[in-house]
Amino acid sequence: MADVQLHPILGVPQAAMPKHVAIIMDGNGRWAQQQGLPRLKGHQSGSKAVRYVMVEGANLGLECLTLYSFSTENWNRPKVEVDGLMQLYKQYLIEERPTIMENNIKVRHIGFRDRMPDFVIKELDETIELSKNNTGMELCLALDYSGRTEILRAVKDIASKCKSGEIEIDAIDEQLISDSLDTKGLPDPDLLVRTSGERRVSNYLLWQISYAEFYVTDVHWPDFTVEVLHEAIKDYCSRNRRFGGIGSNKK
């Protein structure tokens, strides 16, 4: 039997490593409340965890890391919190550019664009343009994102192409739908991590997580560390993924 190649950092079989890790970053507000701080302070602390996880994801050799940062439903939060979040996104996109470039990370956005402030779109576009030729991990930022709305947009786009005669109905398959989503060209998430002990998917990557493994941690996002990320990935690598079959029981 050939020797199993182990991941140099995690020590798990290289072949078992996830290609795409998606994270629902939850618990910023609760973390702040536990500290007796305003909710926005929790979001500020959470941005540091984003940096740690982004850099470590690149170090681990992930193909893609998708972060659920702001859902379409989050617009219903108090205006002062939303305004503060938008300022934080602007600050993050500017301050993290050197780190993004040093780690050969390519930035991508999924979700709506027209409802975010112009100053956020400007910095988002500049960061995407700056990193477009990077060849390492793809950092996918889900901002003003809704899984259901993403699927609805894809359905409308495909229906329009059918109506115009660009494609035939019989040509509609899973690959065409995947290629009509914001995540076109990315592998589906292998591992979905949710922090703060919550156990729901919250309208996140509904099409893409069909076969994702779930990992839930009670850790609030601001306290999420590289070690917690390692634990999640090691747990994933220990699972027997059957995809509807019997499986091999091989680790």
Name the residues annotated as catalytic: 26, 74
Using CA atoms, how far apart are residues 27 and 42, in angstroms rounded to an integer?
A: 8
- From the CB of residue 223, how many other CB atoms can be counted at a distance below 10 Å? 16
Sheet strands side by side (includes 213-216): 106-110, 138-145, 64-71, 20-24, 191-194, 213-216
DSSP 3-state assignment of 204?
coil
Residues contacting residue 200 through CB under 8 Å, at least 6 positions apart: 194
Given phi > 0 = left and psi -120 to 50 = alpha, else beta, which region is 160?
A: alpha
Q: Which helix (H) or strand (E) holds 142?
A: strand 138-145
Coil, strand, or helix at residue 77?
coil
DSSP secondary structure of 154-202: HHHHHHHHHHHTSS-GGG--HHHHHHTSTTTTSPPPSEEEE-TT----T
